[in-house]
Structures are given as C-alpha cells and as structure tokens.
Chain A
C-alpha cells in the first residue's frame, strides 16, 4: 500500500531525495520556524520536526506538524520513546495520522540528562526498535501492542528510523540497520556525516548485506557554521565524529561560513556517488536559511515533480 507521502513518492520514483529539519522553539511562538519552512518549501520533500531534541522542552513535534500541514507542507514527525509510554505513543500516532501526518521517524532519544529537565523520569517503556515494529503492526495488521484489533485499520504511513555509522561497535552497526528494516523501517536517515570514509566503509557492508535494496538510505548532512559549532559537535554531541582535518580546513578559510557550506555541498556530491544512498537529510539547525543555497549548489534544484 502506498501513501500519499511526497517523500515516499520521490524515493519510489528513483529520485535522489532531500529532506530538511526544523527544531521547534522553547515557546509556543513558531513564526520563525514557519518562516524557515517557507524559505525551503521548494527545496525539500518534507521536514523532520524534532521531538524535544537533546531532551530540552520545546513545542511538540506533532503540534508543529499540524501547522506545517496547514501550510501545505509535509512533516516527518520524529517520535522518541524517552518521554512517552506505549499508551501515549500509539495514541499520538493515531492523533497525528488523523490530521494528515504520513511520515514518522522512530527514535530512542537522547538521555534526559542532557537537557533542561535532568531530574525527569526517562520513560523508555519501549525501545526504538519496538516502536518501529509497533507502528508497522498498527499499519499492516491493524493491531495494538498485545494484539487487540484497532477499530479501523490505520491508513498507510511511511516509516523511518535512524542509523549511526559513527557509533560503536562499528561492525555491529550494519546488522542493527538490518534489524531496523525487519522491524519496519522503510527509510533511514543517518547521523551527520563528517567522516565520509567511515560512512563509505559502513555503506560497503550495507550493500554486502543487500540492505540498500530493502530501504531508502538518506545521508545526514550538516553545514558547519563555525569552529565553535564544530568543536561542540566533536566534544559534546553523543555519537558524532568530527575529524580534526575538517576543523583545520575551516580554520584556514578566509570566509569560514562559506567554507562550511562548501564542505556540506561537497559531502552531498560525494554521497550521490555512493551506490545505495537514496538521498540526503540536511540538518541545518539554527542555520536553516542556508538550506536553499546548499541544495541549489549541490545540483539538486529544482526538485522533481511526482
């Protein structure tokens, strides 16, 4: 069963897909976010809406998704298992589908320790794998966890998950991807790619297992805004590898921001050459305005009509 998801249609048609990312603010005023969404309307298929990223309280992903749909844009609702138990996760899926969300990204979520509510209870009733399988079963079997039949089957949804080639144990990571596909992942977005050699080694194994034919793999790309931002990701963001050479290169550049954009564009171009990479997920959190330039410079504009 096919959804009306633009992201799914673009990927199914064999086009190299582009998704963007929007981080909701620490207030209910989402005007700036809407402005950013509008600015990349013609440059991305759909937008990830982060779910209280890094465990900081923000406007909910589903709430922002409602606004995006009103604007005629397509959200990829991120859902972590950190803050909601299985009752709430299944209920929120139904709620989001009821107003037209088609794409969901199932995540574990950063530990609450990293956020602004470190005293909170980490829920983790399900894990990210179980969340994927739960949503798949709700869609394909029409059942809730435990086997109870839903009143009506769920309309088709497009299920995504994340993969991190930069986490350890490295040799296990492709096997973990296989497991996520078995659990229901139809598309994958990876952690930000700065160490492209390691990413290529991971992809080689992914191809060996034939996984690139079982799901769409989108490479995560983040433009580096400053040396400080690079250092922050290198030292403080879990599961990231930012090679020192990259920082040296930006340091040596006259226009550091321009260099950051250039590196992102080069990364996309290199990703396009790798067999089995079906698209890119551009995460320019707190630098959303450069997304159109990156997409255009990478030769991915205009986006295909499907």
Chain B
C-alpha cells in the first residue's frame, strides 16, 4: 500500500496528560496506513508503551500497560475479533488515524478511546522519511484538467485558474520547500502540448461535495445487504 492516511504521533507529554486519570492502558496500534507511515503500527505501539512505562516509573505512577495491534481499526469486523483482548483496559490509546479512533469509539461504546496520533493528510511517501499530501478528498476530482497534479491540495491557495503572483522559480510563496503546483501543471501541459487548457476560465468550484457540504456519507444500493437493519 503506497497511498495512505498519514499521521504523526502526539508528543509524549500530551499523551501522558490525557492518560493521567487512568491506570490500565492499552496502546493499540493499527496495521494499515499508519504502519506504513511509521506513526502508529506495532513497532510504534511498543515504543510508545515503553516510553510511557518509563515516564510512569519516573513519576512514581502505577500504570499497567499492554499493547496490541489491530489490522484495521476502521472496520467493525477487525474490532470485534479483538474486543475480548481489550476488555481489561480502562482506556485505549489508539494509534490509528482519526477514522480508526472514531470507528473504535462507535463500536466499543463502553470503552474510552483516546487519540495517540495527530492525523495529518492523505498522501504518499515522497522518499524514505518524507511524506507529501496530495489529495483533499474534495468530492469533485479535477485531475483531468491538470493531468494529475491537484491544485486544490497542492496549491496553497487552492486556485483553479493558474498560478498567483507569488510563484517564483517554481516555488510557492508560502515556503521555498513547497513546489508551486501551477508551475508544475503548466510545465506538464506544455510538455503534452495541452497548455491551451489554461485559457479556459474555470468556474467557482462546487465545495458542497467536500466537507463544506457537511459530513459526507456514501450509500451504494448495489452493494448493500438486502436484510440490513
């Protein structure tokens, strides 16, 4: 899996603070996206548990820590398989993304689930140790217009009609570390002989298909189970 939800573990002090009222803690890794981005898999769950144990010892706190890793915290069937093993803990520190944390909290109504990560974005590994955001999930993909470079995500101003006046030497005004998406789009269109596309005035975007339209649900009647409750 190359595409993924990318996260970063919260600072240990913040985690320790949210765990303050609890004694039996389960640090729960997630085996999919956050494993690949080295933020919340089995290895990170063990490391986090070890660091918390050390901190508790230092502060003289009685903390009982267990660790487990679920293949996917964002699917009920995987959670259900594991529910028994989680029964002991007062609290579960989930190292899944926000989706996993919430799915867990929905499925395990009697448990307290706390987030151990800051979920960052949908992206891909640019190189070893570097991840880049490249999709905002706006619900109305425009990658056909730009030949595979998303201006909504990768232009700091989500512009749809070309680069702003802050683009210089291929870089965004926001940071020399950020490539100007429209500079890249322009060069790609030129390469493909399709730069005349940039002459079309793209109308205001329909943001109602994105989160701005409210929380989204997809219903696929064709794959729903008939006797679903």
Interface size on B, residues (CB 8 A): 29
Query: Do B204 and A172 touch across chains, with their CB atoms under 8 A apart?
Result: no
Cα distance, A238 to B157, chains bound together (Å): 14
Query: Do B161 and A179 touch across chains, with their CB atoms under 8 A apart?
Result: yes
Residues in A with CB closer than 8 Å to B169 are 168
Q: CB-CB contacts of A35-58 with B at 8 A, as 1s and 0s?
A: 000000000000000000000000
Cα distance, A235 to B95, chains bound together (Å): 41
Query: Do A133 and B166 touch across chains, with their CB atoms under 8 A apart?
Result: no
Q: Residue A111 at the B interface, CB < 8 A?
A: yes
Residues in A with CB closer than 8 Å to B203 are 130, 133
Query: Do B204 and A176 touch across chains, with their CB atoms under 8 A apart?
Result: no
Cα distance, A9 to B211, chains bound together (Å): 46
* Least Cβ–Cβ distance between A265 and chain B, in angstroms: 25
Query: Do B159 and A172 touch across chains, with their CB atoms under 8 A apart?
Result: no
Segment with Cβ contacts to B, from A120-128, A247-255, A268-276: A120-128
A108-B157, A129-B201, A134-B204 known; A168-B167 Cβ under 8 A: yes
Q: Residue B164 at the A interface, CB < 8 A?
A: yes
Residue from B160, B166, B187 within 8 A of A167 (CB atoms): B166
Residues in A with CB closer than 8 Å to B57 are none
Q: Residue B7 at the A interface, CB < 8 A?
A: no
Q: CB-CB contacts of B179-216 with A at 8 A, as 1s and 0s?
A: 01001001100000000001101111101000000000
Interface size on A, residues (CB 8 A): 36
Query: Do A239 and B161 touch across chains, with their CB atoms under 8 A apart?
Result: no
Cα distance, A242 to B201, chains bound together (Å): 32
* Least Cβ–Cβ distance between A207 and chain B, in angstroms: 19
Query: Do B201 and A238 touch across chains, with their CB atoms under 8 A apart?
Result: no
- Residues of B18-54 whose CB lies within 8 A of A: none
Residue from A126, A168, A176 within 8 A of B168 (CB atoms): A168
- Residues of B125-177 whose CB lies within 8 A of A: 156-170, 173-174
- Residues of A119-151 whose CB lies within 8 A of B: 122, 124-130, 133-134, 145
* Least Cβ–Cβ distance between B189 and chain A, in angstroms: 10
Cα distance, A167 to B167, chains bound together (Å): 6
Query: Do A172 and B168 touch across chains, with their CB atoms under 8 A apart?
Result: no
Cα distance, A108 to B157, chains bound together (Å): 8
Query: Do A110 and B173 touch across chains, with their CB atoms under 8 A apart?
Result: yes
Cα distance, A163 to B198, chains bound together (Å): 16
What are 7 A-B pairs at a CB distance below 8 A? A111-B166, A111-B173, A130-B203, A179-B162, A183-B161, A239-B165, A239-B168
* Residues in chain B within 8 A of chain A (CB atoms): 156-170, 173-174, 180, 183, 186-187, 198-199, 201-205, 207
Known: A128-B161, A130-B202. 5 other contacts (CB 8 A): A111-B157, A122-B156, A127-B159, A169-B163, A175-B198
* Residues in chain A within 8 A of chain B (CB atoms): 82, 86, 108-111, 113-114, 122, 124-130, 133-134, 145, 162-164, 166-169, 172, 175-176, 178-179, 182-183, 191, 238-239
Q: Which 4 residue pairs across A and B have the least CB separation, nearest first?
A: A164-B165, A238-B173, A129-B161, A238-B166
